[in-house]
Structure 1
Amino acid sequence: MPSTTLDARAQATIGIVLMSVGIASLSVSDAIAKALTAGYSPIQILFIRNLIALPFAIVIALSMGGPGALRSYRPAAHLLRGIFWLLAAVLFFTGLKHLEIAEATALVFVAPVFITAISALFLKETVGWRRWLAVLAGFAGVLVIVRPGAGTFQNESLLPIATAFLYAVLMISARWVDPRESVWTLMLYLVGAGALLSALAVPFAWVEIQSGDIWMFIGIAIFGTAGITLITQAFRFASAATVAPFEYSALIWATLLGWIIWDEIPDMLTYVGAGIIILSGCYIVFREQKLQSEETN
């Protein structure tokens, strides 16, 4: 077997491991956020998380990208992306306060579906009928989970869906960033913009922090920063088609943490809807990778 094949397989394995550990870290961060929402507003949680995470982000950016990672050629683009990111996080944390963590996580999985729909409708990118069917299937999965009109419907279910939409806009907005900037610059300025914007709003929502909760705030910053960093690295080692499906392992962690901490057990329809969303998202990723490889050949 050629050594290049072995190298490719090793890199794919590393990418999968990094993605899986990164998703597990973000799931722990989400669980801590859900616990903190009982006594603190989402904006205060995000401010403290970003404030603690910012030094880590600076160190990571410097060690991975050098001093050049601190420079931005389009700071306004990062500020706008920070607004999208902060709004998405506020909506998601608010949803976590009222919903089971597995349900909120499953609904956020619709983000790749939104990315495809936005690209076609607003950016006029060509999307074939196969991906449009996947988009429709993804939205059908959302309806299965949310069940509008049923007695179990909650208005708060719309919050993770709005989060997914804003996350999709955030991902697409990466195109506005100067191509000379590295992924570490994007990570650093996203955390920095989040810290700045949340600092402007937190005086209106601040409550005194209980001494026993300090470790939870430190934990959410550490696990959140570690998760984002590991996931970023995963995409550097392997293609999106290889590692992206492992993002959906978040549902396993969310279900486990929800059961252990809050005795939450999602109903079967939540898993059915999540399965439909996951399949549609995986197909979109694989289809886009196939089309890109055909264009380069």
Structure 2
Amino acid sequence: MTDAGRGIALMCLTMLALAVQDGFSRHLAGEYNVWMVVMIRYWFFAALACGLAASRGRLRAAFATPRPFLQAGRGLLFTAEIVILVWAFTELGLARSHAIFALCPLITAAIAVWVLGERIGARRWLAIAAGFAGVLVILRPGAAGWDATALAPLLAAAMFGLYAVLTRLAARTDTALTSFVWTGVTGAVAMTLPGLWFWQPMAPADWGWMAGLCGVAALGQWLFIKTYEAAEAGLVQPFAYLQLVFASLIGVTVFGETLAANVVIGAGIVIAAGLFTILRARPAPGEGPLDRGAG
């Protein structure tokens, strides 16, 4: 298998692992407090990140950063985004939540203009506008039965978009390992107090679900790292939308969710707009990274 083929295969497996992770989260958050579920997940995340750094003899170095407030801020932002999105899974289901959350790459592109000074041309701005139109199709504001709860995954997408841009900003001075460790530890510290405050006794069988959540989350992170070791981001990024497909399948087959026509149509618009933006951002052979910036 070529590097490109291996990268695509790894990205597909990564999205499957992340969709299964969301399925575990939806089940556990439906039975127990979201704060507690996310707290335990972050305890494992922090232990994994610190263990990885320690195994490389770089634990102390991983905490060294010239921008501690930036690292802590992006870690807190990511933590809050996870809490909101997991809560949305329990209220809206996996399929509908992910259909709205799929707007994230478009939001990231828009925020990058403001924070990183990246350039976006008229066609990509139109794609971003089309993506928001797709979300409006999904949300159907003003329609009978509309609930403001549906805005939760949209808020989560905006938060993750800002987190992604801040991560790229941190990468200018810090290693990936430093950002990884700060994300895990900051989240674990932030979640411990509310998680313990809302602690609920967990049935023995559900500890198995929790172990599955932590295990598949670790697998997803490992596959994600391996994906970008095997192939360039521009090649594999379009396959990230498979998480929506896998999560929807889990929602329908495991949790009995239904896919309304407006959700399918709206998600299709969002995905098409996102793919256009990703492909326009990829430099053509011989182009520099900024040559396609105004496309």
TM-score normalised per structure 2: 0.90
> 1:202-261, CA deviations, whole angstroms, 9 ceiling, x for partnerless residues?
233222222221111111111112212312331232122211111111122112211222
Aligned-residue RMSD, C-alpha: 2.2
What does 1:171-190 correspond to in 2, within 5 Å?
A: 171-177=164-170, 179-190=172-183
Indicate yes or no: 2:36 matched with 1:44. yes
**1:38 alignment partner AA:** G
1:113 pairs, out of 102, 106, 120, with 106
2:228 pairs, out of 220, 223, 235, with 235
Q: Is the 8 A contact 2:115 2:165 kept in 1?
A: no
What residue number does 1:3 align with? none
Moved more, 225-234 or 245-254: 225-234
C-alpha distance in 2 between matches for 1:76 and 1:292: 38
What residue number does 2:283 align with? 290
Moved more, 70-79 or 235-244: 70-79
> 1:36-93, CA deviations, whole angstroms, 9 ceiling, x for partnerless residues?
1122222211110111233333333455x65266343133322111110011001101
1:263 pairs, out of 244, 256, 276, with 256
Indicate yes or no: 2:133 matched with 1:140. yes
Moved more, 93-102 or 285-294: 285-294
Indicate yes or no: 2:153 matched with 1:149. no
What residue number does 2:92 align with? 99
2:18 pairs, out of 26, 30, 36, with 26
Alignment CA distance shift 1:72-1:294 (3 Å)? same
Indicate yes or no: 2:58 matched with 1:67. yes
Alignment CA distance shift 1:159-1:47 (3 Å)? same
Identity %: 28
Alignment CA distance shift 1:142-1:223 (3 Å)? same
Q: Is the 8 A contact 1:119 1:125 kept in 2?
A: yes
What residue number does 1:55 align with? 47
What secondary structure does 2:202 align onto?
A: coil
Alignment CA distance shift 1:293-1:151 (3 Å)? farther
Structure 2 stretches lacking a partner, 5+ long:
none
What stretches of structure 1 move > 4 A for 4+ residues in a row?
121-124
C-alpha distance in 2 between matches for 1:150 and 1:124: 38
C-alpha distance in 2 between matches for 1:229 and 1:138: 30
Q: How far is 1:193 from its partner?
A: 1.2
C-alpha distance in 2 between matches for 1:213 and 1:33: 11
Q: Is the 8 A contact 1:15 1:243 kept in 2?
A: yes
